[in-house]
Amino acid sequence: MKLIVGLGNPGDKYNNNRSNIGFKILDVLANNTGIEIKTKKKKSIIGRGDFEGSEVVLLKPQTFSDLSGESVLYIASFLKIQVQDIVVIQEDATLPLGAIVVQKGGDSQSHPGIESVAKALRSVNFIRIRIGIQNKKYNAKKREEFLRDDFEPLENLSLIQIINDAEAAIRSISLGDIEEVIEKYRLGAV
């Protein structure tokens, strides 16, 4: 069983924020697999179902992105999911819009939500899918302010392809050797 976590912030006012790309990807994945994310559990909303022939749990923490560790730890412990079977989808303002990088472990300090998950699990050995959200305005704004911005209208057109690419990465993780997937989705590989 895999636990796939989309980082984001709960509430309608955050729906199209850059920081909510993890929620957006999880919603499309749920829709495409027929999994309903509606069961409320300990500061989380989850859905369970079949994905590529294996059982999967989709998790949207309701603690706000930067405090996601509590939700991830509770659900992983409750369902006895190992750290290496946890996949976290995060926004990454250091990557250009649409870039996708898959990695296992790594520096948790670069993202407060990832740091929260790593601290709660006492490990960085989960899989991360980093989704690039950067545009020209990134350097002119503080990181937190930039992440609260909604995607611009032209960027919204790109989101369909970005979400499809992210779903393909998740499928690759479910079906393939993680080292091959990491090599395929490393920065500059595509």
Residue that is written with structure tokens 């050797």 in the block: 177
All residues at 6 or more sequence positions from 65 whose CB lies less than 8 Å from its CB, including other chains: 7, 8, 9, 19, 22, 112, 113
Residue 95: inside a domain, yes or no?
yes
Domain range holding 113?
A: 2-184
Roughly what angle, to the nearest 10 degrees, separates helices 112-121 and 69-79? Answer: 40
Domain count across the chain: 1
The runs of H, that is alpha helices, within 63-152 are 69-79, 112-121, 143-148
Could you give the 3-state DSSP secondary structure of residue 8?
coil
Q: What is the pTM of this model?
A: 0.92
CATH of the domain at 49: 3.40.50.1470
Residue 8: inside a domain, yes or no?
yes
Residue 34: inside a domain, yes or no?
yes
Q: Give average pLDDT by consecutive 10-residue segment, the chain, 190 residues.
A: 95 90 95 94 93 92 92 96 96 91 79 93 94 77 77 89 93 86 76
Residue 190: inside a domain, yes or no?
no
Residue 6: inside a domain, yes or no?
yes
Q: Would you state the pLDDT for residue 42?
A: 86
Q: Would you state the pLDDT for residue 72?
A: 96
DSSP sequence for 63-86: S-GGGTHHHHHHHHHHHT--GGGE
Residue 41: inside a domain, yes or no?
yes
Residue 159: inside a domain, yes or no?
yes
Q: Angle CA(17)–CA(93)–CA(120) in degrees, nearest 5?
A: 85
Residue 189: inside a domain, yes or no?
no
